[in-house]
Amino acid sequence: MEIINKLISASIIKAHMGPLKNFPKIALVVWARNPPKSAFAYLVEISRIINKKNDPVIFVDDLCSMLDTGRTTVEQALTNAQYENFFTALSCKTIFSSSVMKNHDFLSMTRELDPLSKKVTFNEFKNCLPLEKRADIQNLGIVEYYHFLLELWMLDHASTKADTVIAGIFSQAILACHRNVSKKPMTAILLPKVNETDFEKNYSKIQQVLAK
């Protein structure tokens, strides 16, 4: 796709995995641990440049957030409302993992995650961990594995609504893993790490690309 190649040449996009489509159905998958960041608006902007016909669908993983922080459903709802408001202001539809996996008891969640757990290897799980956690993997809690499976499960659900996902380069390993195990692997468009102070400079570069 010409526009993606232009964005790669301008270093707006770092790389991609999988075939590129002319008008991809794009998903963003984000984690609702902290309040939404301005980087999410940047991802939405890139999505709209790639496909002017359709807005991206936003998948917000709040189950991982509750697992990681120990928040109750009521406590997490406060953060969820921030995400709902943030993306509604950008005219994007938001889907929360807790609304997809409606039964949150341990047995129901295990049944949902079991098919994925049988497809991934320990090495794939290890490769998706941050370097500091890999270095101390013998002391890693089992919650990290559930976190990993929930991420794959959320990507799997996103693949029922989209054929392409846009994310930062730090998500490359989990996106590659999902492509290996999913029946509907999504193309992944990877962006380089960008500081908030660089957004305006990047928007200027994007305008230059679009003007060519």
Task: Compute the distance between CA of residue 23 and CA of residue 41 in angstroms, rounded to an integer.
Answer: 20
- Asked whether the predicted pLDDT for residue 203 surpasses 80, the reply is no
In whole angstroms, what is the distance from residue 187 CA to residue 26 CA? 9
Percent of the chain with pLDDT over 90: 61
* Contact by Cβ (8 Å): 27, 158: yes
Structure tokens given for 147 = 């976190």
The tens digit of pLDDT for each residue in 21-62 reads 889 999 999 999 999 988 899 999 999 999 988 999 999 999
pLDDT at 112: 81
Look up the domain containing 187 and give its range.
Answer: 2-193
Domains identified in the chain, total number = 1
Q: Does the structure show a pLDDT above 80 at 15?
A: yes
Supply the CATH number for residue 118's domain.
3.40.50.620
Asked if residue 18 belongs to a domain, the reply is: yes
CA–chain centroid gap for 56, Å, is 12
Distance CA 149, CA 152 (A): 5
Inside any domain, residue 200: no
Tens-digit pLDDT profile for residues 134-151: 999 999 988 889 889 999
Q: In this model, does residue 156 exceed pLDDT 90?
A: yes
pTM of the model as a whole: 0.89
Span 175-184, average pLDDT: 94
Does residue 155 lie within any of the structural domains? yes
More confident of the two residues 169 and 209: 169
Task: Summarize the confidence of residues 81-93 as an average pLDDT.
Answer: 96
**Residue 1 pLDDT class (50, 70, 90 cuts):** confident
Instruction: Evaluate whether residue 211 is within a structural domain.
Output: no
Q: Is the per-residue pLDDT at 18 higher than 90?
A: yes
Assess if residue 37 is contained within a domain. Answer: yes
Asked if residue 114 belongs to a domain, the reply is yes
CA 67 to mean position of chain CA atoms: 17
Residue 96's pLDDT is what?
Answer: 95
Phi, psi for 16 (deg, rounded to 5): -145, 155
Predicted confidence (pLDDT) at residue 196 exceeds the cutoff of 80: no
Q: What pLDDT shows up at residue 106?
A: 66
Q: Is the pLDDT of residue 104 over 70?
A: no
